[in-house]
């Protein structure tokens, strides 16, 4: 069922793409559906900037030109999914571990279009672990800081990010003020980035339900 919803929202997102533009592309299973849809219009776009090696591999297979973010000055749109989105369009991302590159490209883009199936839309964040990318030597230090904040941690086993770092999944943190929490975690030395996307939240959210796609701006 969720695959059908992911597919329909991925298809709907095509209508947000401007002719001959370069677009930012995220990672994850929803985005894999989006990449398949992109193939149907690939001659209409100039190319993409991409947030993970996995997405890059898929885009290369369908011969879409890939640009380095350093080589472009303006990025019109970044299209990605999320693990949870609240009613303020703040997100938890990084379930797939690509959060750092996702945050960079999202921040560089004029517009963040977030595409999700209905299961991910929540009033307030609940129970989803917050991914934190850390430099390997800081793993234990950052973990102790998270414990001091009342959270607990799990390490992603056998997982190294595209940047050569580790991921901590933080549970039980108080997410009532998610922007504050994002700033606090960002400030722990050794943290590369945190999967709270509140400072750079979505501008437009597309949510797929069985018979329609809802747009929230
Ligand atoms: C990857 C992400 C993804 O957007 C998020 O995990 C959602 O993935 P999926 O589309 O597979 O449900 O943030 O780092």
* Protein residues with CB under 6 Å of any ligand 1 atom: 26-30, 80-83, 93-99, 102
The catalytically annotated residue of 90, 102, 145, 182 is 102
Q: What tens-digit pLDDT sequence spans the chain (217 residues)?
A: 799 999 999 999 999 999 999 999 999 999 999 999 998 887 789 999 999 999 999 999 988 999 999 999 999 999 999 999 999 999 999 999 999 999 999 999 999 999 999 999 999 998 899 999 999 999 999 999 999 999 999 999 999 999 999 999 999 999 999 999 999 999 999 999 999 999 999 999 999 999 999 999 9
pLDDT at position 54 is 96
133 an active-site residue? Answer: no
Q: Is 19 annotated as a binding residue?
A: no
Q: Which atom of ligand 1 is nearest to the CA of 95?
A: 6
Residue 179 φ then ψ, to 5°: -65, -40
Triad 197, 94, 49: Cα angle to 5°: 80
Token code pair at residue 216: 């929230």
The rounded Å distance from CA 168 to ligand 1 centre is 16
Answer whether 80's CB lies under 8 Å from 112's CB.
yes
**Confidence at residue 12, expressed as pLDDT on a 0 to 100 scale:** 97
Range 46-56 burial, b when 16+ CB lie within 10 A, else e:
ebbbbbbebbb
Residue 153's SS3 state is: strand
pTM of structure: 0.93
Indicate which residue's Cα is closest to atom 6 of ligand 1.
95
Tokens found for residue 49: 């900037």
Give CA–CA dist 168/174, Å, rounded: 16
In 26-80, DSSP assigns E strands to: 47-50, 75-80
Please choose from 33, 96, 119 the residue to mutate so as to test ligand 1's pocket, defined by most ligand atoms within 8 A of CB.
96
- What is the per-residue pLDDT for 163? 98
Q: Is 24 annotated as a binding residue?
A: no
Atom of ligand 1 nearest to the CA of 97: 14
- Predicted confidence at residue 43, as pLDDT, reads 78
Say how many Å lie between the CA of residue 148 and the centre of ligand 1: 28
> Does the interface predicted TM-score (ipTM) exceed 0.90?
yes
Looking at residue 111, its pLDDT comes to: 97
């Amino acid at each position: 069922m969720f695959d059908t919803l992911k597919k329909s929202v991925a298809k709907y997102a095509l209508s947000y793409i401007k002719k001959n533009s370069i677009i930012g592309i995220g990672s994850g299973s929803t985005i894999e559906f989006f990449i398949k849809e992109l193939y149907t219009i690939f001659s209409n776009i100039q190319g993409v900037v991409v947030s993970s090696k996995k997405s890059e591999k898929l885009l290369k297979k369908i011969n879409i030109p890939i640009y380095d973010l350093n080589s472009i000055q303006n990025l019109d749109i970044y299209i990605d999914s999320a693990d949870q989105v609240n009613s303020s369009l703040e997100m938890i991302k990084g379930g797939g571990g690509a959060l750092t590159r996702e945050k960079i490209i999202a921040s560089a883009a004029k517009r963040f279009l977030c595409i999700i199936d209905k299961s991910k839309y929540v009033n307030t964040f609940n129970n989803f672990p917050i991914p934190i990318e850390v430099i390997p030597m800081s793993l234990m230090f950052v973990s102790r800081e998270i414990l001091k904040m009342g959270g607990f941690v799990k390490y992603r086993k056998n997982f190294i990010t595209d940047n050569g770092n580790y991921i901590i999944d933080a549970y039980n943190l108080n997410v009532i003020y998610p922007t504050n929490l994002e700033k606090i975690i960002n400030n722990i030395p050794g943290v590369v980035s945190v999967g709270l996307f509140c400072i750079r939240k979505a501008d437009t959210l597309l949510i797929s339900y069985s018979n329609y796609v809802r747009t929230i701006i």
